[in-house]
Amino acid sequence: MTASQPTSDHSVIPKELSLPRLLAFALPALPVAAFQLPFVILVPKFYADNVGLSLTAVGVIIAIVRLMDALLDPMVGYLADTTRVKWGRRRTWCAVAAIPTTVGAFFVFNPFPNVAESNSVFWGAWFFIWSMMLSVGYTAISLSHLSWGAEVSLNYYGRNRIFAAREVLAVIGTLVATALPWILSRLGFHGDATVLIVLSALVVVSLPLFVIVMVTFVPEPPHVHQQHHNFFEGLEGLWANEHFMRLLGAYALGNMGNAVPATLLLYFARDYVHAGEDAQRFFLLLYFLCGVLSTPIWMRLSRSTSKHRAWCTAMLVACAGFIWTPFIGYDFLGSWSPYAFGVIMAIAGVSVGADLMLPVSMQADVIDVDTARTGEQHTGFYFASWALANKIALSIALGFGFVALGLAGFDKGGDHPKPPVAISAPATTSSSVTPAAEQAQASLSPRNHVSATTASDEPVQQTPFAIWTLVLLYGVVPIVLKLGAVSLVWNFPIGAKEQEKLREAIEAQILRDAEQDGQLGH
């Protein structure tokens, strides 16, 4: 890879992808999403329980990997923007990044060397090296994939189609990871080791194959180039893009509104609704299934209104579901309580289809503002900064939920051991650009704080203050956060007409650059 050089082709405008090419583009999102959930939940527990690392060692290694991953986001995005090869910068980065992602997934999910568990130095190094390789590879391939999606369509509504396909495949990948333990147990295969081996085989086979299909059949539009800013000038330009900052604030609030109830799902379902583990898994499946099925609805509504109004409508629909949360407890409805909660989960799931697709599509539009101003595409840098800010927001949201419960005297269960350090902080997830995996991770993480031999579906008797703190966090805080997001984007200034004007300005600049290049050539 070399530094970017001016492109000589200023005239090629990307056409909308055909359905086969759209599917080819979206396919890698499935295996990428599939390994995220086990990587955050099952892998740390497996290394602590089966490989022999202490909980402290696992926790420290994970914290270092997550911190380094977060700090690398903007740099990876910047390098992905400023790299130029004839084959295409997005295509090249996706192809190259698939290698460490695949290798890292294989080795971190399969600690196969015949080395004694007492050799903590070896296993600590093994866990760190392959986890770091997987995280860096994931960051590079995800940011490049998102940037490619933003550039492969220049149409306001065409971008909805691109990101809808990608997020639907990501949700399917998350559902595969969620359902795999249940399927294997029904086939007579039990334990985390079997799950990780099967999952790694699926990822090792499907990720390279799907990436090859994508880079072979999906075109990459020419790089819009005038001159590159350095890294710090890029940060200044990002901060000066008021549309991006406004959208980023709304997305952070909306995502926090999803993360807080997601991470408390176990406790709420167990102690307020009196639903068992099987019901909880069904709720999660229902949530994401409704998200997939609702995607065409939000695409159509965004066409008849706008992306921001459709997204706001979705968040208001979620609020309309959450507002009934205090009234569905077992003390109110008895045995009907889980059914009422299922309805609320379905309503929230319907809205998540918009949460996954529309904000990221809107981000592609606000990047056009920067391109029109600077004459340069900083798509990767924008998506990387978006990812970093989102990780910080999720950390705040998830940490706030657990801290508030602790201060309220919430009893997580007398039979439950203290949460391991390794996975008691789901806020450090690296899945910043795939919200489906984030929400599934948050929903399932508390379950993994307890061992298989001590976990219980029986509700724990809580004090009135503790239980109503839980209800407030689960049902009221999300409404406040989502209404805050709605207030930021209800009158968002970039719609279809505004985006079309931005594209006209960008194309005019491209033509001027082409004419200038022609004159200089003579």
Domain boundaries, the chain: 17-218+228-416+424-445+455-521
Beta bridge partners of residue 84, listed in sequence order: 2
Residues 6+ apart with CB under 8 A from 447: 266, 277, 280, 455
Give the pLDDT score at 369.
84
Give the pLDDT score at 219.
87
Tell me the H-state helices in 408-460: 435-444
Give the pLDDT score at 417.
37
CA distance 219 to 222: 9
Phi first, then psi, for residue 424 (nearest 5°) are -90, 0
Tell me the H-state helices in 218-276: 231-240, 242-263, 265-268
Residues 6+ apart with CB under 8 A from 90: 80, 144, 145, 147, 148, 151, 220
Give the pLDDT score at 445.
46
- Dihedral over Cα of 354, 355, 360, 362: its sign: positive
The pLDDT of 345-362, averaged and rounded, is 89
CATH topology of domain 17-218+228-416+424-445+455-521: Growth Hormone; Chain: A; (1.20.1250)
SS3 328: coil
Q: Which of 257, 240, 231 is nearest to 79 (CA)?
A: 231
- Burial class of 37 by CB neighbour count within 10 A (0 to 12, 13 to 18, 19+): buried
Question: What is the DSSP code (8-state) at residue 423?
Answer: G
Give the pLDDT score at 314.
95
pTM above 0.75, yes or no: no
Residue 214 has pLDDT above 90, yes or no: yes
For 371-393, b where at least 16 C-beta lie within 10 A, e where not — what string? bbebbbbbbbbbbbbbbbbbbeb
Question: What is the DSSP code (8-state) at residue 155?
Answer: S
Task: Report CA-CA distances (Å) from 135 to 72, 187, 331, 379.
Answer: 10, 31, 45, 20
Is residue 69 very low, low, confident or very high in pLDDT (cuts 50, 70, 90)?
Answer: confident
Do residues 285 and 178 make contact, with C-beta atoms less than 8 angstroms apart?
A: yes
SS3 407: helix
Give the pLDDT score at 12.
46
**383-428: pLDDT as tens digits:** 887 777 777 777 777 677 778 888 888 887 644 433 333 322 223 3
Residue 75 has pLDDT above 60, yes or no: yes
**176-196: pLDDT as tens digits:** 887 888 788 888 887 778 888
Give the pLDDT score at 247.
92
Give the pLDDT score at 118.
82
CA distance 237 to 78: 13
